[in-house]
Amino acid sequence: MAFSGYLGLSVYNGFTNAYSREDTKKNIKEFEVEYNIFKSFYDVEEISIPSTYEDHEIPAIYIKDDSNENIAVMVHGMGGTKESVISPASVLLELGYDVIAIDQRNSGDNMAPLNTFGVLESYDILDAVNYAKNIVKDNEIILWGESYGGASAAIALGRDESNIDYLILDCPVSDGREFLEEILKDIEAEQGIPVSYMMFTGNIATKVKLGFTFEEINSRKWLAETNTPTLIFNSKADEVTPEQMGIDVYNAIPHDKKELVTSDSSPHVQIHVLERDLYLNSISDFLKKY
């Protein structure tokens, strides 16, 4: 019994600290030059959005072009920050959408602890969407998320899609449990503890600590009753979120207002860099169609 409790707590601690905030801060240096160049072309304002769910601030950058009337709320992937989405942000700005890019929980300047694969992150996203709604009024809001942030965005849409006009998912995680199981397979190989038992005990610990189970980190579940037009990008060359994940997310959406665009060659979340025309034109066509 004591071992099961210890094991469950160990799985919980690994799950909720999948990537440290300190390491995400270090990663900002990779985008520093690009970000500084970007700021010379656009009005970039650092803003702070109060959380309505917990007692913390949601750091964000608000990127504006005087000719734009709409807003895209952007959610970075695991290990990223608000500064790491500059490349896809440039596409959305070109298409007429100002950008509000947030730091997810336990990332960048967001001091809220714990990674929860989108479950708690989704509340921050909805606060950012509501912040954007107060600005755009009757104009449009896109919710965009990449990889791990794609799962967070999907969960946010499942919670409340009332102020979201479009959802764009770039190489999204379809089910966080698959990632967790992959990590636990290494422990199984080293220590002989079955993945199924680690998942079982970790699930109990997460329920006790946070009030939800691993079932909630399945983004497909959250999309099952949504009605928002959704565009998904995936790639046959993606080794982080394989092509099938995008297909699974696409198939989970119950309506016909959805599109799936597949790259043959771009690595994980690099379509907007290596195939920018495909990325821009796919989004443009999608927005015109729906």
Other beta carbons within 10 angstroms of residue 69's beta carbon come to 14
Q: Strand 230-235: give its sheet, edge to edge.
A: 43-50, 57-64, 97-102, 70-75, 141-146, 166-170, 230-235, 258-263
- The domain of 71 spans 2-289
Summarize the confidence of residues 43-67 as an average pLDDT: 96
Mind listing the pLDDT tens digit for each residue in 99-141?
A: 999 999 999 999 999 999 999 999 999 999 999 999 999 999 9
* DSSP 8-state symbol, 175: B
User: Which residue would you say has higher pLDDT here, 102 or 30?
Assistant: 102
Entry pTM:
0.96
Query: Residue 73's pLDDT is what?
Result: 99
Query: Residue 110's pLDDT is what?
Result: 98
Cα(151)–Cα(175) distance, integer angstroms: 8
pLDDT band of residue 61 (cuts 50, 70, 90) is: very high
Cα(281)–Cα(283) distance, integer angstroms: 5
Mind listing the pLDDT tens digit for each residue in 73-106?
A: 999 999 999 999 999 999 999 999 999 999 999 9
**pLDDT(3) > 80:** no
**pLDDT(190) > 70:** yes
Total count of domains within the chain: 1
Summarize the confidence of residues 265-280 as an average pLDDT: 98
Q: How high does pLDDT run on average in the chain?
A: 96
Summarize the confidence of residues 151-171 as an average pLDDT: 99
Lowest-pLDDT range, 8-17, 207-216, 224-233? 8-17
**CA within 13 Å, CB half, 11:** 35
**pLDDT(1) > 90:** no
3-state secondary structure of 56: coil
Mind listing the pLDDT tens digit for each residue in 256-271?
A: 999 999 999 999 999 9
CATH classification of the domain holding 241: 3.40.50.1820
Mind listing the pLDDT tens digit for each residue in 216-252?
A: 999 999 999 999 999 999 999 999 999 999 999 999 9
